[in-house]
Amino acid sequence: MQLYNKLSAKERAELIEKAGKDRLTLSFYAYAQIGNPQQLRDHLFIKWDGLDVLGRIYVAQEGINAQLSLPADNFENFKIHLDSIDFLNGIRLNIAIEQDNMSFLKLKVKVRDKIVADGLNDETFDVTNKGVHLSAKDFNKMLANPNTVCVDMRNHYESEIGHFYGAVTPDVDTFRESLDIIEADLHEHKEEKNLLMYCTGGIRCEKASAYYKHKGFKNVYQLEGGIIEYTRQVNTEGIENKFIGKNFVFDDRRAEKISDDVIAKCHQCGDAFDIHTNCANDACHLLFLQCDNCKEEMNNCCSTICQEIHALPFEAQKELRKGQGNSNDIFKKGRADHLPYKKDLRNIFETFKKE
């Protein structure tokens, strides 16, 4: 019985091309009490491997978070299987706006402590006591309310390329950082302000909405289905789009275009640009914004040092990496000091406090 992926990304890509089938990229999440995450993990892997599902799925005692792709002609059987699991019966599936057959090249189903790392250790916190879910239409109405503070619950490198008009975009590297920062900055407004949150697909702001209710915020709202579902409703219902730029996604597509606006800039030259890449030096692998001209000039590297290392023979590069842990730059996502046009740090609530 196979319980783990055995093919390389290259081998899988070749099989996808040979099959010649269109694939669907989608995501979903559910908070639930799962007694035996490992047992569920193994069950999902066996069933989904048989349906040619590829993706990144996390299972924990608090629920499941899934981002995946599968052949379009297997979708109905996949949905039938989801509906056979009590807490996933009728679950909303966020279908990607832009499809790519190569969005995922491996099936990874992992057991985690939590499906969204939050750094919390509070047994009285009930993640299911969530805020009010809003449709795209109602979100736009709440966004226009002068008594509303709209907060982007994603990380800085996500909001850098796209966000809602007027939203507060925290300069954080992780979700757990934003929880305390937002609470501290809005502490005096727990009673009267509308706290409106959004994220990619809804999973982060759903936990955040429960957290802020737990902390005493009275008027807590979230965009149901996140930016992905918002865009679907905008396109199908003719609703005015209040999102500018691109929506960052965690697969090989990197982003989906929501509007034609380019609000970010190349981290190396400062020209308007909003497509992320990873430094070609595997010892660095920094995620940053690099335009086509800089990519050619720097050989897809973030610095001259990385460029020199990347030019070395493969075995020489491996030798240099021996005994070295991953560079901290990997997790700083564009924070590296040598990038002259990286996103500026600022007080995220400075403008709000002056009003």
Q: Single out the catalytic residue among 199, 205, 301, 306.
A: 199
Torsion of CA 330, 334, 336, 341, to 10 degrees: 160
CA angle 155, 117, 200 (to 5 degrees): 40
Owner of token pair 């973030």:
302
DSSP 8-state code for residue 263: -
Query: In sequence order, which residues have a C-beta less than 8 Å from that of residue 256 and are 6 or more positions away?
Result: 96, 97, 98, 228, 231, 246, 247, 249
Q: Are 275 and 254 in contact (CB under 8 A)?
A: yes
Q: Give the Cα separation of 33 and 37 in Å (integer).
A: 10
DSSP 237-256: HTPPP-EEEEEE-SSTT-EE
Q: Give the Cα separation of 71 and 88 in Å (integer).
A: 20
DSSP 8-state code for residue 8: -
Q: Give the Cα separation of 225 and 237 in Å (integer).
A: 15
199 among known catalytic residues: yes
3-state secondary structure of 337: coil
DSSP 8-state code for residue 91: -
Phi first, then psi: give them for residue 59, nearest 5 degrees. -120, 135
Angle subtended by helix axes 75-83 and 37-50, to nearest 10? 160
3-state secondary structure of 17: helix
DSSP 8-state code for residue 326: P
**Which residues belong to the active site?**
199
